[in-house]
Structure 1
Amino acid sequence: MRFGRWRKLIEVSEKREKHRNSLSGTSPPSPSLEGLILASPARVPPSPSRFSMSPKIDRIGSVHLNMNDAARATQNFSPSQKLGEGGFGTVYKARLQDGQIVAIKLAKKAHYEALRSEFESEVELLATINHRNLVKLLGFVDKGDDCLIITEYVANGTLREHLDGRRGDHLDFNQRLEVSIDVAHGLTYLHLYAEKQIIHRDVKSSNILLTERMRAKLTDFGFARLGNLNSDDKHASAKVKGTMGYLDPEYMKNHHLTPKVDVYSFGVLLLEILTGRRPLEPKRPATEMVTVRWAFTKYSEGSIKEMVDPLMNEVVDTSVLEKMFDLAFQCVAPTGADRPDMNLVVEHLWGIRSDYIRSRTKD
């Protein structure tokens, strides 16, 4: 893999994206849509149209670095610049010579060869996607044992950090709902509107980054695979990839990869957003260790308010909560055939948003 090959791929992808936009009448969203997410839904700009693409922040492939440049930009890959760990390697905050802030993902040196397929997969897929709720590729290095992926920097940490309260104030319901819609938009794009269908395979709260304006972006495409948009056939995958707690049980059993794998993970994510609990809670009593099972039991008992994250510190209409939990359980249905497609999930979430706004205006 070299820059020449991917630059050509990127240029073709951009031309096709412009052509699709001209046909559909879509255009990059106005910055005015991205106001701060405040407590009152009447003042919250909704997540943009399902067809909205990313703002043109920088041309894909525009950042060219070698390892020496990357070392300088990250203070020699200092722990103080570390942002997190991904499937491919460690992610660092980097300041380039022109002052631009980017994120650099460095392969784990002891596992270069084992990780090479993940590196190539992530670069290839990131080079072809362009959506405001997906982290944008800016460049990469693939030379000898040096493997770097350079992406846009998303300043406000991960969703999991916010749910844990490690980023200041806890998220209110409005913010949680908007994050859910943003992620659903990103997955809908991958499944239905990308150049080729893409299945992410690692949807989880630590792979969702939040901007300073609290918009969500899905990241870490190391486990992503191409699907088949024009066929209902299931795709066999030699190795099941993903994170325990978010993994689709049907996929783990039969190794058949379909977009419904992401739908299941999104359902787990919705429960995580609503309850604040991680998918697996080993320190809790046996009946509460698996959040999906615990939540379903509580839901069946009608104990909906007991399920809500106590740190949310907001009273939300019970009917709104019920619809949100119901959607989550539809997504985690035991079989993929019983789960909604992501575009229908988006429609449901839009309806829940409308119900939430109406409930608040009555107060």
Structure 2
Amino acid sequence: MEVITIKDKFILKSKVHFNNQSLQLLKEVSGSRAFIVADSIMETLGYLQKTVDYLSEAGISSKVFSGVRPDPDVKVIADGLKLYNESDVDVLVAIGGGSAIDTAKGILYFAWKFGSIEGMEIKKPLFIAIPSTSGTGSEVTDFSVITSDEGEKVCIVDEFIAPDIAILDSTCIQHVPQRVVVDTGIDVLVHAIEAYVSTNATDFTDALAEKAIKLIFENLETLYKDINNANARDRVQNASCMAGMAFTNTGLGINHSLAHAFGGTFHIAHGRSNALMLDAVMEFNSDLDGSASGYATEKYAKLATVLQLPARTRREGAVNFMLAVSRLKKALGIEDNIRALGIEQAEFEKALDQMAQTAMLDRCTPTNPKQPSKEDLIRIYQKCY
């Protein structure tokens, strides 16, 4: 069996508050001036104004940047950075989906980097993240994904950008469209699975990943059918945060590398991109056509036992876990393949080489349990099509 070196460090920088109405904890924040990064949905639904009002009750004035766009690019970051630098704040609040939190992280990261270049001592503001979707886990991670001028998704990974406080108030996600519930929920599942089989996995991250996977299987389909189910909303949001805690310590894998490159090329939602890669990536990571004794196969089999699926052997357990993932995707209405998205084969094949090259260089690739070649990644893409 392959030997994987177990790491001996687990870091969690964020203090997590959860359950309904926890947004009101903003009334207790200490500070004088806040910079709020929010997406338009939070503004429309009134949660941005609630945030401003609660901070005001704490004696904190607010400057708002609401220019967030899906898959934030360097221009959005630059626009936000300009306003941030003019604001002289001691509190940074991000409220919205993963794009809003990634934007805030990007602003914070480049404010720090540019300030360091100019010899300035940059003090990190109190950073509060309030997610409005249950998917990225960004409220507790040191990851941010920014789109470059060339359209490529670039991962920034640095402890400096990890939020200090995460507020999980599931009332903030009760207006999420059904398709977003699916895309973000599957992203949670992929985060947890990749953290579980990462070469940096530990007992601590395994515990979080296992619980996140169990919560997703027990609650995501329920939430998909009824967004008003408060218990399912809470459970899926908690799963998202737990998966984030796991992967910020372990890194991810080629499922995300492939999804970053594919989603950036064809402008497909990140969670949907991850979902389309998942079956083929698990098949690549396992050795079911051989002895079924590899590290990833063993871990997939353990996940079968977590879900109380038959797992008398590693092979049986791994296969049953993969089948369970496929059944969940089908129940959520996820397409069977990339072709079903309407992407022409010629267009897809033309992009294959560049997507595979981009995925090879992705920050998520090194911690995959099986190191791929560029040709391996091309074959995975082709299988997904």
Do both share a fold (TM > 0.5)? no
Q: Which structure dedicates a bigger proportion of its chain to helix?
A: 2
Scaled by the length of structure 1, the TM-score of the pair is 0.29
Scaled by the length of structure 2, the TM-score of the pair is 0.28
